[in-house]
Amino acid sequence: MEKIIEIIWSPHPKQKQALERPEFEILFGGARGGGKTDTGINWLLYDADNPKLRALVIRKNADDLRDWSDRANQIYSKMGAVKAGNPPEFRWPSGAIFRTGHLKDDQAYTKYQGHEYQRMLIEELTQIPNEESYLRLLGSCRSTVAGLEPQVFLTTNPGNTGHSWVKARFVDPSPPETPFKDKISGESRIFIKATIDDNPTLMVSDPKYVKRIDALKDTNEELYRAWRFGDWDVFAGQVFNEFRRNKHVIKQLKPASSYPHYLWIDWGYTAPFACYASAVIRMKEHKTGEVFNRVITYQEWYGVEKTPDEWAEEIYKYAQQRKFVKCIVDPAMLNTNTDGSLSIGKAMIKKWNKLNNNKLWVNMERGNNKRDSQVPIIKNWLSIAPDGLPYWIITERCINLIRTLPLLVYDKHRKEEIDTNSEDHSADSCSYGLKAIKFIGRLGSFGAKGYNINRTFKPLPPVRVDKKGRHLSLDLRYFEKATRKTIDWRAT
């Protein structure tokens, strides 16, 4: 079989490395033009002479599966395999069968339960939106056939809705080409990184392909880094590529209570609940005198399967000493329940008032949940203010906001909106609040009716910048328990 493979198709060194790996899960790829598809097609050929071999090939969409089948047939047909059926399967003279399938809906992930496939090939893994769906497929990769060890071969590039979990499962735990074991299951995994430099066939047959990718360097550096080098920190389809931890994240500092403070909430029970405490500070640029608003988001509550009362008590326990201007929430939280019971929002208010000696602690206001305005609003706040620091700064305590914001991707059908299959709960919560605050602040206006603050701030000190252009100074007069006027404000 190996002789036949080498006659029809000869792998390049990085492809050969991937083909020879013994790990249970092998992720191959990471950049455009690395030769992922051809490698997966030929990986399946091992043990094709075993009559008991059953292999499953998965693509997300039917059109992509059709293209894969056509490419595979160019090799398999020369080796005696017969393509038949819809979705197609490849039947080998030995009796081995390669079946194919696509994932048209959520139920498609469960239709393979109870099946046994000793080999499983999943193309474009990041198109699978979450790890749970992937694990449902993985449950069918097993073997009761002596001599056939189960194995999974996966291909993908950075990006798409599954970017976050794929990165966490395969890329973050270990450097490329370094195998590691899952801490729970003990199964082995490896990520083999391949770029167009590892595919000399493409570089020779289509040299302009590399030049087309290189042309992105001057127009979209993030996309260029993702496509050319397989950078998992920036990727195609990323919504908030402006976000940088060393720009937008600071150490845990609590804004002074004299500023207007807000709560922002996106409700979830089985899906995550996300709540943030933020303060708005009116700033004045020391040279031009330009006045603007800065938002400091300093506390996070995030999780699942808690009642409105439980979340209300947890939030109040931390923030009871604060006087919040208002709580801006997911509009659905204030909808009347069909059974006549209190809405989620009113239940939380009732609990807060009870904890606050039956006095109103904070009032709620419906947030603006129109998704077409969500992206530009957040992008505006992530941009750089006149003093050289971002308009919106987040403390390192907001772990899930920091984790999920850079991983959000665009909806394929609504190009200007965030894909709802992404983990967008933190972004939804923050968008409700950010939409309600004046981006370029008029004096005394912070987006809250009737709220006015006449405090006049001294001009900010000049912003110090290091050799890499990172801003190092943040005025600490605006925070509680601050003993110095400036500090290295980055969280990392």
The helix or strand, by DSSP H or E, that contains position 264, with its residue range, turns out to be: strand 261-266
Alpha carbon of residue 285 to chain centroid:
34
Domain ranges of the chain: 2-205, 245-478
CB of 278 within 8 A of CB of 262?
A: yes
Q: Please, what is the end-to-end C-alpha distance for the chain in angstroms? A: 52
pLDDT truncated to tens, each residue of the chain (492 aa)? 444 444 567 888 999 999 999 999 999 988 888 889 999 999 999 999 999 999 999 998 888 888 999 999 999 999 999 999 988 999 999 999 999 998 877 677 778 888 999 999 999 999 898 898 899 999 999 999 999 999 999 999 888 888 889 999 999 899 999 999 998 889 999 999 998 888 888 777 777 888 888 888 887 777 788 888 888 887 778 899 889 888 899 888 888 888 899 999 999 999 999 999 999 988 876 667 778 889 999 999 999 999 999 999 999 999 988 889 999 999 999 998 777 788 999 999 999 999 999 999 999 999 999 998 999 999 999 998 887 888 999 999 999 999 999 889 888 788 789 988 889 999 999 999 999 987 654 333 333 333 333 333 343 444 444 455 444 456 666 777 654 444 444 444
The number of CA neighbours under 13 Å toward the Cβ of 251 is: 12
Strand 151-156 relative to strand 119-122, pairing: parallel
Eight-class DSSP state of 170: I
What are φ and ψ of residue 13, in 5° steps?
Answer: -55, -45
pLDDT at 277: 97
Helix (H) and strand (E) counts for the chain? 15, 16
Question: Which of these CATH numbers, 2.40.50.140, 3.30.420.10, 3.40.50.300, 1.10.3210.10, describes 2-205?
Answer: 3.40.50.300
pLDDT in tens, 355-404: 999 999 999 999 999 998 999 999 999 998 887 888 999 999 999 999 99
pTM (2 decimals)?
A: 0.70
pLDDT at 287: 67
pLDDT at 7: 54
Q: Is 245-478 a CATH 3.30.420.280 domain?
A: yes
| CA angle, residues 95, 96, 102, in degrees to nearest 5 | 135
Which of 292, 298, 453, 289 lies closest to 381, judged by CA?
292
For residues 276, 281, 286, 288, the Cα torsion angle rounded to the nearest 10 degrees is: 90
Q: If 0-12 CB within 10 Å is exposed, 13-18 middle and 19+ buried, where does residue 450 land?
A: exposed
